[in-house]
Structure 1
Amino acid sequence: MSKPFDMDLFLAGVLTGSRATRQRHLRQAKIIQAEITERWRRETPWAWQRKHVAWFLEHRLGRSSEATRYYYLLTVRLLARRLQKTWGFNL
């Protein structure tokens, strides 16, 4: 049996800011991970492609407020930085 993926450890190197900001990014990253895992069966960010994250931003956050989408976009940028990807998204 394999261990569950540890998002805290994955983002540890790129998280900065206050404790509340770090906790928000971790919470949002775990939500993104859960949604992508449920829809695409891709459990770790290493298995994600740009289309998976774009799907989350467009379909799961489509009716959310502009502020919510912005904060999730910041989290997605942290994930992309950690994965060393040059993903760009327009909201």
Structure 2
Amino acid sequence: MSKPFDMELFLAGVLKGANATRKRHIQQAKTIQAGIHERWQLDNPWSWQRKHLVWFLDSHIQSRSGSTCYYYLLTISLISSRLRKSWTFQRQADAKNR
């Protein structure tokens, strides 16, 4: 049996800021990882595509408060940065207003 993917180690290179902020990003990244793993059986961010993160934003956090969505969007931006992808994502509130 293989070891689970270490999200904390994965994000270590791009995480900056206060300890509480770092912990929040790591916890949110683990939540994103669990959601994508449950849906597509992909637990390694290196195998994710943009559609997986968009799906998470659309299905898992659409009913959350605006601030929660914003913080998840920040975490997803960190994941994209770590993957060296130039993916962009819209906040759900912004998409609804257009």
Determine if the TM-score, normalized by the shorter chain, exceeds 0.5: yes
Question: Structure 2 length normalisation: TM-score?
Answer: 0.91
Q: Which runs of 5+ in 2 are unaligned?
A: 92-98
Structure 1 residue ranges (4+ consecutive) displaced by more than 3 angstroms after TM superposition:
none
Measure, in 1, the Cα distance between the counterparts of 2:24 and 2:43: 20
**Residue of structure 2 in register with 1:54 after alignment:** 54
**What is the CA-CA distance between 1:12 and the residue it aligns to?**
0.5
Unaligned 5+ residue runs, structure 1?
A: none
How far apart, CA to CA, are the structure 2 residues paired with 1:90 and 1:15?
21
Q: Residue 77 of structure 2 aligns with which residue? A: 77
Aligned to 1:43: 43
Displacement, 1:3?
1.2
Q: Does residue 87 of the first structure (1) align with residue 66 of the second (2)? A: no
Q: Identity of paired residues, percent?
A: 59
Mark the structure with the bigger radius of gyration.
2
Shift, 1:32, TM fit? 0.1
Measure, in 1, the Cα distance between the counterparts of 2:31 and 2:25. Answer: 10
